[in-house]
């Protein structure tokens, strides 16, 4: 499934991973007029610190509708111990622009599936394995030399260096192959890919002209949120929910709040305006197990809705959104026989323990908000994977444009976290540049996708074309104000509005049609 594409597909992994990563697919090779130029990219020493292991022409149709392209496979070694794998796909019918693609979880992405939509549109597409070959989104072993000993070279590659080096070498290879540099360079990613977009904007502001960051895992509070949700539901086994109870909770929430936005459609536009209390489903007498909630279960649900902070107000776990309960599946919260603690553990807690302690098996049930946030603050490895610097003035000064987007029902990284960063970036960058926040809001835009889970999926429309919107903005000078979202197998379409505007039904016409909604 290509979740790197701008036309998003529902996510198969519902927590942190938006983009799956696999080794490049074998494809047929055919001689063409471009073959000498392509094979010539294997010349030794062409790009600094880069060894090209193969450069070959691939016939049109290697994936549906994909044109013929030159595929370049290489390894970049900027420092001792670094082995950054990259794949560059250079289409015959080039549109003159370059597109970088992000990864997911602990994995990079070298797939043709990830590059396909860009190739179809004529982009030279560049991808990296982020410095390690494992394609598992949960495998952090690449950064651990021994229990408790973190390899800072490989963690740095994963954290930010690989995408930057991929980009520098990519621009050089594109310029050599086509005899001209790309006119525009864009980066698109979701989840870890969203974080990679943050690192590029913050650390390497000249790499890209435009960036799309979806559901960004930019802050280790994503992982501490998972840790405390695990405590809420699994530290005391009697707090766990059954699938039937989750369905009952969701139905009750929708009865209470679905009409808040004026349309009963199974989607709560703004969960923060929903105040449904789980005590409504409190068990009475001996009816436990019928879908009602015990006192401990109701408390766990309430705590998940509220999140958790330190006494001085620092967030350690962002709230889960009301309306997104169907994503509280056994696999994510209740666990399964093969994964008893669920994805909150494998994609959240273990990620946190890998990065902070170099030990995925570090205990988790005794953490408090204070100790979790202190562990991040005191860590010398956390800064390698976090992308929290709010000063993005250098990116904006050279005309960079940034689209952030987030599914409102995301049970992993919270859309509230993305909005928190957005406001911080406006404030810090405006102060640095001596302009108003309103002026900078013209160059950083956030789109919230109601009813959408992590990078796709959910009851809301999750397919929309952000790459065209970014290109129209950067190359065409037309800023995006309203992007139409659809859903496969459903008649629904809705506008995604520039934050803080929300879609509102006009009161007339089919509620499944985007033209009957306005942004306000």
Same domain, 228 and 96: no
How many residues make up the chain in this entry? Answer: 520
Sole residue written with tokens 């979740």: 3
Structural domain for 149, as ranges: 35-219+389-439
* Helical H segments across 379-512, by residue range: 382-385, 393-397, 415-433, 437-440, 466-474
Give me the CATH number covering residue 403. Answer: 3.40.50.1820
User: Average of pLDDT values for 54-66?
Assistant: 95
Tell me the C-alpha to C-alpha distance, in Å, between residue 465 and each of 327, 418, 423, 474.
24, 20, 24, 15
Give percent of the chain above pLDDT 70. 93
Q: Classify residue 104: in a domain, yes or no.
A: yes
* Domain end call among 417, 439, 461: 439
What distance in Å separates the CA atoms of residue 276 and residue 254, rounded to the nearest whole number? 9
The half-sphere exposure of 401 on its side-chain side, counting CA atoms within 13 A, is 20
Cis amide prior to 518 (ω within 30 degrees): no
The pLDDT tens digits for 162-205 are 999 999 999 999 999 999 999 999 999 999 999 999 999 999 99
Q: Classify residue 328: in a domain, yes or no.
A: yes
User: Average of pLDDT values for 132-151?
Assistant: 96
Tell me the C-alpha to C-alpha distance, in Å, between residue 484 and each of 405, 493, 500, 515.
13, 7, 17, 9
Same domain, 127 and 164: yes
Residue 267 pLDDT greater than 50, yes or no: yes
Residue 23 pLDDT greater than 70, yes or no: no
What distance in Å separates the CA atoms of residue 212 and residue 470, rounded to the nearest whole number? 8
Q: If pLDDT is split at 50, 70 and 90, which confidence band does 376 have?
A: very high
Tokens (6 digits) for 382: 């956390």
The pLDDT tens digits for 201-215 are 999 999 999 999 999
User: Average of pLDDT values for 418-442?
Assistant: 97
Nearest to 346, CA basis, from 105, 12, 1: 105
Q: Classify residue 500: in a domain, yes or no.
A: no
**Cβ contacts of 303 within 8 Å, gap of 6 or more:** 232
Same domain, 132 and 231: no
Q: Classify residue 277: in a domain, yes or no.
A: yes
The pLDDT tens digits for 67-85 are 999 999 999 999 999 999 9
Q: What is the DSSP string of 26-72?
A: P--B---TTHHHHHGGG-TTSSTTEEEEEEEEE-TTSSTTPPPEEEE
Same domain, 309 and 240: yes
pTM above 0.85, yes or no: yes
Report pLDDT for 32.
59
Report pLDDT for 7.
37
Same domain, 193 and 306: no
The pLDDT tens digits for 227-241 are 999 999 999 999 999
Tokens (6 digits) for 225: 């949120």
Q: If pLDDT is split at 50, 70 and 90, which confidence band does 290 have?
A: confident
How many domains, the chain? Answer: 2
């Amino acid at each position: 499934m290509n979740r790197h594409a701008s036309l998003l597909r529902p996510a198969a992994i519902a927590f942190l991973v938006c983009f799956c990563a696999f080794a490049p697919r074998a494809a047929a090779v055919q001689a063409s007029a471009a073959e000498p130029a392509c094979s010539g990219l294997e010349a030794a020493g062409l790009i600094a610190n880069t060894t090209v292991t193969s450069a070959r022409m691939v016939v049109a149709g290697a994936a549906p509708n994909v044109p013929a392209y030159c595929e370049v496979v290489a390894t970049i070694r900027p420092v001792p111990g670094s082995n950054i794998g990259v794949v560059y796909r250079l289409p015959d019918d080039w549109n003159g622009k370059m597109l970088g693609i992000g990864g997911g979880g602990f994995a990079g992405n070298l797939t043709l599936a990830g590059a396909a939509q860009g190739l179809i549109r004529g982009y030279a597409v560049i991808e990296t394995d982020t410095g390690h070959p494992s394609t598992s989104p949960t495998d952090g072993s690449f950064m651990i030399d021994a229990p408790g000993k973190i390899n800072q070279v490989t963690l740095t590659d994963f954290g930010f260096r690989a995408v930057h080096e991929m980009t520098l070498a990519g621009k050089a290879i594109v310029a050599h192959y086509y005899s001209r540099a790309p006119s525009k360079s864009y980066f698109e990613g979701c989840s870890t890919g969203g974080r990679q977009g943050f690192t590029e904007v913050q650390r390497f502001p000249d790499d890209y002209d435009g960036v799309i960051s979806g559901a960004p895992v930019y802050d280790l509070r994503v992982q501490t949120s998972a840790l405390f949700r695990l405590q809420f539901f699994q530290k005391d086994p009697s707090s766990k929910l059954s699938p039937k109870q989750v369905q009952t909770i969701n139905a009750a929430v929708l009865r209470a709040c679905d009409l808040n936005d004026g349309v009963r459609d199974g989607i709560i536009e703004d969960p923060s305006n929903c105040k449904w209390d789980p005590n409504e489903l409190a068990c009475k007498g001996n009816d436990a197990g019928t879908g009602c909630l015990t006192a401990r279960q109701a408390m766990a649900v309430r705590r998940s809705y509220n999140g958790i902070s330190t006494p001085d107000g620092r967030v350690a776990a962002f709230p889960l959104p009301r309306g997104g309960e169907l994503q509280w599946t056994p696999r994510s919260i209740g666990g399964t026989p093969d994964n008893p603690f669920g994805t909150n553990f494998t994609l959240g807690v273990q990620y946190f323990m890998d990065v902070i302690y170099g030990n995925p098996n570090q205990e988790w049930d005794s953490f408090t908000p204070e100790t979790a946030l202190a562990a991040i603050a005191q860590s010398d490895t956390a800064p390698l994977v976090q992308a929290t610097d709010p000063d993005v003035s250098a990116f904006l000064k050279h005309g960079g444009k940034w689209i952030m987007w987030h599914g409102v029902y995301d049970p992993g990284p919270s859309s509230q976290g993305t909005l928190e960063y957005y406001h911080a970036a406006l404030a810090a960058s405006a102060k640095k540049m001596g302009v108003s926040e309103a002026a900078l809001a013209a160059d950083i835009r956030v789109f919230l996708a109601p009813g959408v889970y992590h990078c796709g999926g959910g009851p809301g429309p999750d397919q929309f074309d952000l790459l065209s919107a970014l290109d129209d903005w950067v190359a065409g000078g037309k800023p995006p104000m309203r992007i139409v979202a659809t859903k496969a197998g459903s008649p629904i379409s809705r506008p995604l509005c520039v934050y803080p505007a929300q879609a509102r039904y006009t009161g007339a016409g089919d509620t499944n049609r985007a033209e009957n909604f306005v942004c306000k």
